[in-house]
Chain A
Amino acid sequence: MIPLLFFSLKGYAQTSTEKLPPVTDYAEKLDTLYHFLVGISVVSCILVIVAFAYFSIRYRRKSEKEQGSAKVSHNTLLEFIWSFIPLVIFAVAFVWGWILYYDFKRPPENSLEIHVYGQMWNWTFVYKNGKKTTNEFYVPSHKPVKLIMTSKDVLHSFFIPTFRIKQDVVPGIYTSLWFKANRKGKFQVFCTEFCGTGHANMLARMHVVSLKEWEDWLAHDPYKGLSLAEIGKKAFQGRCTVCHTTTKEKRIGPGLSGLMGAKREFTNGKSLMVDENYLRESILNPSEKIVVGFPNQMTPFAGTLSEEELSGLIEYIKTLK
C-alpha cells in the first residue's frame, strides 16, 4: 500500500509539473482544484485504511470459539458526524468546480473566433479571412480565442490536455471552447469521443505564436507560387493520409498509386475507368460509388476543400504512378 501511494504521488507530481505544464490561467486554477481533490482523497483514504488495517491486526480471532465483543450496534451522533463531514467536503468540491466551470463556459466578448470542423478522421480550421488548415492551427498568445465547432459526420471531441479543456463536437449544432494562452509553444490536440477506425489518429497540433507571427502567418498564402500538383500534395498531407497511401498498399481506403485510367468495380455491379470526374465525385461525395472490398466509410469533403485544392489533389493523384 505504501509504495502504491508513493508511486501515485510521484506520478501525480509529474502530471502537474513535467509533462503537462499549465499554459493558461484557467489550467492553473484547475490544477489547484485538482491538487485539493487529490489531496483530500489521499488523506481520507489513508484515514479509513489506517482504521481498518489497525482493527484487522488488533482484533484477529484468537480462538475458534471467540465471538465479537462490541456492545454497541449504532451511535447516532457518530453516524451524523461521519455523514456530515463528507457532505461538507463534497459541497466544497461542487461549488469550487462550478466556479471554474462558469469561467470555462464564458468566452470574453473580444475573443478571436476560429471555426473548427471535425470529420472522420481529421480536423479542419477555418479563419475569418477564409484561410483553411487541416490538423495544424495557429493562434496568438495573450489573446482569448474561441473555437466554434461542429462535426460533418459523427461525434468527436476536441481535447487540449495542457489547457485542461475539452468539448464534444456534435453534428447539427455548434459547440464552443475558449482559452487564452500565456506562452508560446506547440500543443497536442486529441479526439476523445470514439469515432471509428481512425479515432486514435485523429490528432491535431496547436501552435501558439506571438500576435505578429500569427498575423504574418494568417496573411501568408501557403499555396503561393506552387504548381497544382504541389498544392495537391500539401492538401493531401494529414487530410487523406490516415486512410490512403500514395503507393498501392491498402489502408482503410485504397492506395492511390496508378489510379488514373485504372478500371474500378463498384458494389452496385457497375464499373468504370478512373478519370477526373470520378476522382472529383469520390472526394466530394464518396458514397456514390463504393469500390468492391472497401467499407462505405469516407466522409464527404464537399465544402471543406477549395476548388484550387480539389484540382490540386486530382493533379497530385495523377502523378502517383
Chain B
Amino acid sequence: MAENKNYLNWQKGISSWLLTLDHKRIGILYMITIFSFFLIGGIFALLMRLELFSAGEDFIKTDFYNQAMTYHGAIMVFMVIIPGIPAFLGNFFLPLQIGAKDVAFPRVNLLSWYCLVTGALIACFSLVLNGVDTGWTFYTPYSIRTSTSVIPVVLGAFIMGFSSILTGLNFIVTIHKLRAPGMTFFRMPLFVWSLYSTAIIQILATPVLAITLLLLIAERVLGVGIFDPNLGGDPILFQHFFWFYSHPAVYIMILPAMGIISELIVAFSRQNIFGYKSIVMASIGIAAVSFFVWGHHLFVSGQSEWAGIIFSGLTMLVGVPTAVKVFNWTATLYKGSLKFDTPLLYAMGFLFLFLIGGVTGIILATIAADVHLHDTYFVVAHFHYVMVGGTLMAIMGGFYYWLPKMFGRMYNELWGRVSFALIFIGFNVTFFPQFILGAEGMPRRYADYPLPYEPLNQLSTLGSWFIGGGFVVALIAIVWAIFKGPKAPANPWGAKTLEWETTSPPPHENFSETPQVTTGPYHYGN
C-alpha cells in the first residue's frame, strides 16, 4: 500500500518525537501534555464540587480541599489554558496558515516544550511533599507563612513562564519573517493576528511574573523583607506585581480563542468575515489596554481610592473592542451558508457563554458593585464563563475543526455533537447558579458554607458531572477519530485558508511548493 509520506510517518521511534524540530510534531507533544494536565485539573475540580455538594466537611478534609482548589487553579491556568491555544493549535497551524515550512526557531520551539514539561513536573512534585494550599495566586503573606510546599509550585510556574516567553518570541519572528510571498499583514488569517497580539503580551508581561515569583522564593527562603510586613515589606505590592502579569495573561488566554472563533465562523458560514480590519484593531487594542487594568483585582485590597477609580474606567474600555468582536461575528452569520457541524456548535457555544462572561465582567468593573461581589462566587462564575465558556470552547471547536488536517481522519459527527451538548448544558448548570450564590454573598475558596447556600450548590455539583461526562465522551470520540476515523480529504470544510491547500495530514515540509498569495484569507466567491 503506497501511503503518502506525511509528518506523522516520515520518521519513526520515540526519539523522533522527543527530539523533533517539526512544529507539527511539537504541536502534538503539546496536545498530549495539555490534555493530560486538563484531566488532572478536571479531577481536582470534580472533587471540589463533590465536597461542596452539601454543607459540612463530608467527603474530603478541609486541608485537602484547599489544596485541590489550589492545584485546580494552578494546573488549569499555567498548564492548560495559557499554553492551550498558542502552543498547541498555534504551533501546528501558524506556519501552515502563513505558508511557511516551520517556525523561525525550531530548536527554541522544542526547548519551550521542555520548559513547560519540566516546570509542570516540578510543580506537581509538590503533591508528594506537603502539597500547596495558597490558591493559584500565591498571595503574601500567607504564601510566606504556610507550612505547605510553595517553593516547587512557584519554581515550576517560573520555568513554565519561559515556555510562554519563548513561544511568543518565536511567533513574532515567524510572523514577521516567514510569510509566504504575497501574504501581506492584512492578508493574514485572523487566527494569526490573534497569535501575534498574544505573543506581544507573552513576551512583555511574563518576565514580570518570573521576577515576582523569584522574589517570593527569596522572601520565603532568605526573608528579604519585600512582601512580609513583619520585615517591613508590603503584601499589597505582591498583588500589584502578580496581577501586572496575570491580568494580561487573561488576554493570553482569550485572544487566541477569539482568533479561532473567527476562523470557525468564517469556515462554516462560507463567506468573508464582517469587519476584518476592525477585528484586527480590536485584538491589538485589547492587548494594549490589557496592561493597564490589573488594579481591578485590587478594588478592596487597600490600594488608593483614585487608583481604584482609574482602573475601573480603564477596564470599561476593554469592553468596547470585545463587544465589537462579538457584533462582527454575529454579522458574519448574516446571509451565510451555515452548517452546524461540531466546530460551529462550539463557536456558537463560545458566543453564548462569552457574552454572559463579558457582561458580568462589566458588572464587576463597576467599582461599587465589585466591592460587594469581589471574592464571592459571582467572580468564580464570571471567570469560568470567560475561561471555560470562552477559551476551552474555542480549543475544543478548533480541535474538531483542524483534527482532519492534523491526523488525516474524520471524527464522528454524532458523538461530537453529543459531547458538545453535555458540556454546554453541564457548564451552564454548574456555573450559572454560582452567579446567584455570589450575589447572595457566598465567598469563594470556602471548603464549607452556611446551610442556606446548599440547594444551588447541589445544582452546581450536578452540572459538574455532566461536564465530566461530556469530556469523557469527547475523549473517546477524539481517540477513536485519530486511530480509527475514516480518511479525511485535504479540505473537508471547503475552507479557504492556506492550511487546507496541503494534504491531510501535511507532509513534513508542509507544502510541496511554496504557496503564492494573491488575495485576502477568506476569498469566498461573494
Contacts and interface: CB of A to CB of B under 8 A. Distances in A.
Interface of A: 1, 4, 7-8, 11-12, 14-15, 19-20, 30, 33-34, 37-38, 41, 44-45, 48-49, 51-52, 55-56, 59-62, 66-75, 78-79, 82-83, 86-87, 89-91, 93-94, 96-101, 104-105, 153-155, 157, 159, 161-162, 164-168, 170-173, 175, 188, 190-197, 199-201, 295-297
B439 interface: yes
Contacts of B448: 200-201
B3 interface: no
Given A7-B432, A166-B375, A200-B447, A55 B333 contact: yes
Contacts of B327: 48, 79, 82
B147 A297 contact: yes
Given A68-B337, A73-B273, A296 B320 contact: no
16 contacts: A8-B435, A12-B436, A30-B368, A59-B269, A68-B272, A73-B274, A82-B324, A90-B362, A94-B316, A94-B365, A98-B368, A101-B309, A167-B300, A168-B302, A170-B236, A193-B375
Nearest to A27: B372
Contacts of B334: 55, 59, 70
Contacts of B440: 14-15, 19-20, 161
A239 B309 CA distance: 37
B335 interface: yes
Contact of B443 (A38, A74, A89, A159): A159
Contacts of B512: none
B33 interface: no
Interface in B475-526: 524-526
B37 interface: no
A41 B302 contact: no
Interface of B: 62-63, 66, 133-135, 139, 141-142, 145-147, 229-230, 234-236, 269-278, 300-302, 305, 308-309, 312-313, 316-317, 319-320, 323-324, 326-328, 330-340, 348, 351-352, 355-356, 359-360, 362-363, 365-372, 374-376, 428, 432-433, 435-436, 439-441, 443-450, 452, 456, 524-526
Contacts of A60: 338-340
Contacts of A167: 300, 302
B393 to A, nearest CB: 14
B363 A165 contact: no
Nearest to B232: A172
Q: In the complex, which of the residues A48, A62, A66, A100 has the most CB atoms of chain B within 10 Å of its own CB atom?
A: A48
Contacts of B313: 94
Given A68-B270, A296-B147, A87 B320 contact: yes
B335 A70 contact: yes
Contacts of A49: 352, 355
A98 B371 CA distance: 11
